[in-house]
Structure 1
Amino acid sequence: MKTVSNCVEDILITQPYLEEALSRNIINFSALAIELTEPISKMLKKEVKPGAIMMALRRYNPPTALTNSVKMKRVIQNLGDITVRSNLTDFTVKNSETIIDNHSKILDRINQESKLFYTFTRGIHESNIIISSSLNDFIKDQLKNEKFLAIQEGLSAISVNLPQNNSKIAGLYYHFFKRLAWEGIVLYEVISTTNEFTILVEDEFVDKAFTAIKRVKS
């Protein structure tokens, strides 16, 4: 049988910002209990008093705060260089039997210009090419027989080099996403390799996003 404590836990798990604020003791328990009275009453299908919810909140034991994890601190302190590349375009095309062959021709051109920014991601139904805008006409010509789903210009990429053991640390990306969300920064695309993390934002957000990520590192 579901209890008030179960409902409180379910709500906090789905709202990590709220859970973190609770773990840092920066939330008014009484005010939060009143706020949660209606949703918890609906979950239990009966009237629940704010006092019962406040008791459940005070008894709630959140997982060890990510910011207090020794491993997490070590990884964040060892974040590598932050690199910004501007004048990028994101091409989204529908997957087809010819996309790989056409893409190979694009790779031949890229190999001749090593300083270009370029990434390629193939999903189940669509593929993305993010590339320096100087090659826009070339990309459109090479993919003229493909179905474009979206073309977005005026983008910038911010890349962060991650320590070698980053894949063993739970919640690392959460720190980036939390900071960017708090700053109201809209992410156009997210790309990652084993030891590198890249966000793609519209040019108007690039300075704010760069500062936000530097704050994570510091």
Structure 2
Amino acid sequence: MADPVFLFMVKPKQKRRIQGFALDDQPREKLIREGRRSLSDAELIAILIGSGSEGESVVALSRRILADYNHSLSDLGRASLDELKKFHGIGDAKAVTITAALEIGRRRKEEPDQKKPVITCAKDAFEIMHPVLSDLNHEEFWILMLDAANGVIGKAMISKGGRAGTIADPKIIFKTALERNAAYIILFHNHPSGSLNPSDEDIRITRKLTEAGKTLDLFVLDHLIVAGGSYVSLADEALI
């Protein structure tokens, strides 16, 4: 009788978490999931450092460094490279990264606040977009994005067309504005022909976008048609 054959089931190796630490010790993933303001000072420093050492997670290392500087980013910002390198797990590259990041923060605080332009009427909006649209020989569709106080937070081109028209895709318009956390938007396009008369399609798409914006709490305030150095506001003309 042949010897019995014994079969052994080998369990597949389980994937280790990054660096073998728990999810709570993965600040990069936490920032992606929950946003930058959800991270503690130690977790932000941990992202700069990138990795811990054997037996100590990157977050634990960051906490240890902060504790040595009274949990103060200002105190840490005054540390020399040699002082930072005294911590086990911190070499030249990590010490330089920490120092550079804190210096950026210091310089940011020194910059004067740049006041956002505030839109109070159609002319204010035209003054901002006039240099962009006035001399084109083709049509472009743009949006001006505002915060809740009507301050300008950005502008974006939605489409570029020919002399006779361009596309105003609602999906692109609202996606762009939502990504910037806009509260209001103002629509713009130019007429290379020089005519300021809004077409039936101009009026239709404006009303369509205005209604769509209401469902998103992202309100369309106006639609300006630019031709050369002049403009017409569909809101002022009561066409919205």
Q: What's the TM-score, normalizing by structure 1?
A: 0.28
Which has the larger share of strand?
1
Q: Which has the higher contact order (CA 8 A, sep 6+)?
A: 1
Report the TM-score when normalising by structure 2.
Answer: 0.26
Larger Rg: 2
In proportion to residue count, which structure has more helix?
A: 1
